[in-house]
Chain A
């Protein structure tokens, strides 16, 4: 039963194709205020914001490429590199700090052999910091794709990471 509780769906992304992106973009309208929604959409489709998308969006919204790049680089959510099938976000904010998130973070970084914003290719896991998941009364918290694990520790987390479906990593 508990195994079921730890089952995480893998991220599945399409391979980047500029022609396909152009087709998909036709679904949106040209108002600039849609830019964030559009970026979220493409990141969900392809897993990251490919650099070829920047001029495409600039033309579509009648903005400069610098404007679009400025938006992509401003927000922590938007990635300019590919991500793994799993993204592990460890909360770095105060409530989780009070419950040992600093130690947890170090142990998981060592375990995965990577720092924040990096991907362990073999395991298909990308590690990211996050500043509050809004589940502070059950700290420390991590988010694995869209699932939150609360009151966690590195032993439990390592077990969860070991059980992830490792077929076909990006």
Chain B
């Protein structure tokens, strides 16, 4: 019997991994060879998908990788005796010696792509539920103290200290509290939540469970975006299995604690990634944002104290509990401790998810991991942190990736997405798109966002259509003024941050325009 690992994950499936699984089974049967295909998540190397790994029969800790495998390669792989690590043009060798993986520091994603995503047995074998075991030995304030000491900051984008949020909820008096997982990963260029949920769903469940124990909540909700149909299926299967095994439900693992998780699917509104809008949506309403205060930690879902954290935030908790706050905080920088799953996309040769400590530079990610642009042209611009993040110039490649360094140059790290453009990018068009996106996705509650974004599109159109420099200058001044208004008067980050990509893209556009003269 030969064990073959093949992802069941959106990227791999978009590159025909499902058909590949069928082709492998068919070919093996025709050749009378016994194979066992184990479906994992992805290790995040999208450029190698579909990535096949063969367990070395002599040393089952070692896996030999082949990729990216096309359907036409199946017969030749068998001909080359790939099940016994035979030579083939797609052979990548021992997966652990591939630099792209070796040079990462994988804490949150340590199991992703390695284990059968839905097997509780392999989850436990690879350190799963160690965080829960530790949490059950501690009292509630000690759990929260560990999270505080780790320095973990919310990975959704706002980077608020997780421990403080939990402490607030734990300290609130209420008959019922909620744990809400924000899995409405709408930022373009981000997919770490999806990879985690598809590849290691029990890690998210464990993190939410620990949050429930620490704060006294007995019900959790996952708010998943509807654009992730495969993730929905995997989560449903994982929740059922976790419930059957006594990791969800009443008296979890004989601990006396009760906790369950419900899955809710959104309906295609970007704004529902904003926490108060998400809560409205969970209540069955239009996803319009709420005024803050009251904070969701005090009056959240159905008016009850609620922890709202991103998928990666929850998924970072088990290892912090299992290995201790100090272990985690030793990675990264003083103010941005730990690791971050960076997501490299757009015009990039070797895109995917790279988990590494904070403080690594953009150049390291884009040139070393990413191998430069896919088109082979020079990097023209990079957008960091989703559609509300700033556009940076190629000259800023040496910026370290941590919360403080990016904010010092007028950008933000957000959810860790890096979208690369080559030098053919029209940055004025990108600035216009930022306004257009805001107009399409605005919840409509506040005027600066709802109307400002439409006016912003119109002004940029005028800039496009004007040849006269003095009226162009007037339009720029007006755009600047509009951005000021949106920044200071919008209710939430949608309108408040849209000026960030607009201003940065316009600035780069003007620079490039001046350089060309």
Residue numbers of A with Cβ under 8 A of B are 1-2, 4-5, 31-37, 39-40, 61, 67, 70-71, 74-78, 93-99, 130-139, 141, 143, 146-151
In the bound complex, what is the Cα–Cα distance between A70 and B353 (angstroms)? 38
| Bound form: Cα–Cα A76–B29 in Å | 46
**23 A–B pairs (Cβ distance < 8 Å), ordered by A:** A5-B19, A33-B282, A36-B264, A70-B286, A75-B269, A93-B189, A94-B346, A94-B383, A96-B188, A98-B347, A98-B420, A98-B425, A130-B227, A131-B440, A131-B441, A134-B10, A134-B191, A134-B193, A134-B227, A135-B14, A136-B346, A137-B352, A143-B227
For A137, the chain B residues whose CB sits under 8 A away are 11, 46-47, 191, 343-345, 348, 351-353
Q: Does B185 contact A (CB under 8 A)?
A: yes
Q: How far is the CA of A84 from the CA of B437 in the complex (A)?
A: 26
Contact B190 A136 (CB under 8 A): yes
**Main DSSP-derived SS at the B contact region:** mixed
B19 touches A4 (CB 8 A): yes
Which of A37, A136, A149 lies in contact with B345, CB distance below 8 A? Answer: A136
- Give the residues in chain A near B188, CB-CB below 8 Å: 93-96, 131-132, 136
Contact call A138/B14, Cβ cutoff below 8 A: yes
Please give, as numbers and ranges, the residues of chain A lying within 8 Å of B322 by CB-CB distance: none
Q: How far is the CA of A99 from the CA of B437 in the complex (A)?
A: 18
Partner of B72, one of A1, A40, A139: A1
With A and B bound together, what is the CA distance between A133 and B231 in angstroms? 12
Q: How many residues of chain B are within 8 Å of chain A by beta carbon?
A: 68
CB A62 to nearest CB in B, in angstroms, measures: 12
Q: B194 interface residue, CB < 8 Å from A?
A: yes
Q: A132-B188, A132-B227 are in contact. Are A99 and B347 (CB under 8 A)?
A: yes
Residues in A whose Cβ lies below 8 Å from that of B417 = 136
- Could you mark each residue 418-429 of chain B with 1 if its beta carbon is under 8 Å from any beta carbon of chain A, else 0? 011110010000
Give complex CA distance A40, B229 in Å.
Answer: 13
Contact of A39 among B185, B267, B287 (CB under 8 A): B267
Q: Does B270 contact A (CB under 8 A)?
A: yes
Closest-CB distance, B160 to chain A (whole angstroms): 23
| Contact with A95, one of B11, B189, B353 (Cβ below 8 angstroms) | B189
Chain A residues positioned under 8 Å from B425 (CB to CB): 98
Nearest-CB residue, chain A, relative to B225: A134
Is B13 engaged at the interface, CB distance under 8 Å to the other chain? Answer: yes
In the complex the two chains form, is B13's CB within 8 Å of A148's CB? yes
Q: Are A94 and B387 in contact (CB under 8 A)?
A: yes
Q: In the complex, A71→B353 CA distance in Å? A: 35
Contact A150:B286 (CB < 8 A) given known A98-B420, A137-B348, A137-B352: no
Q: How far is the CA of A45 from the CA of B334 in the complex (A)?
A: 53
What's the minimum C-beta distance from A85 to chain B, rounded to whole angstroms?
Answer: 17
Cα distance, A65 to B154, chains bound together (Å): 38
Q: Of residues B10, B47, B270, which shows the largest number of chain A Cβ atoms within 10 Å of its Cβ?
A: B10
With a CB–CB cut-off of 8 A, which chain B residues contact A61? 284
**A75-B268, A151-B15 given. 20 additional CB < 8 A pairs?**
A5-B16, A5-B71, A40-B267, A71-B284, A71-B286, A75-B266, A75-B269, A78-B267, A96-B188, A97-B433, A131-B440, A132-B189, A134-B193, A135-B191, A137-B348, A138-B15, A138-B49, A139-B346, A143-B227, A148-B10
Residues of A within 8 A of B288 (CB): 74
* Cβ distance A79 to chain B, nearest Cβ, rounded Å: 11
Alpha-carbon gap, A78 to B10, bound state (A) = 23
B71, B343, B351, B437: the one contacting A1 at CB < 8 Å is: B71
- Note all chain A residues with C-beta closer than 8 A to B419: 94-95, 98, 136
Shortest distance in angstroms between A75's beta carbon and chain B's nearest beta carbon? Answer: 3
> Does B285 touch A at the CB level, under 8 Å?
yes
Kindly list chain B residues whose C-beta atoms are within 8 Å of the C-beta of A132: 186-190, 227
Q: Is the CB of B283 within 8 A of A74?
A: no
Mark interface residues in B176-212 (1 if CB within 8 Å of A CB, else 0). Answer: 0000000001111111011000000000000000000
Give the Cβ gap from A128 to chain B, nearest Cβ, in Å.
Answer: 9
Docked Cα-Cα span, A96 to B421, in Å, equals 10
The reply to whether the CB of B85 lies closer than 8 angstroms to some CB of chain A is no
Cα-based distance from A170 to B348 in the complex (angstroms): 40
Q: Mark B298-338, 1 if CB is under 8 A from A, else 0.
A: 00001000000000000000000000000000000000000
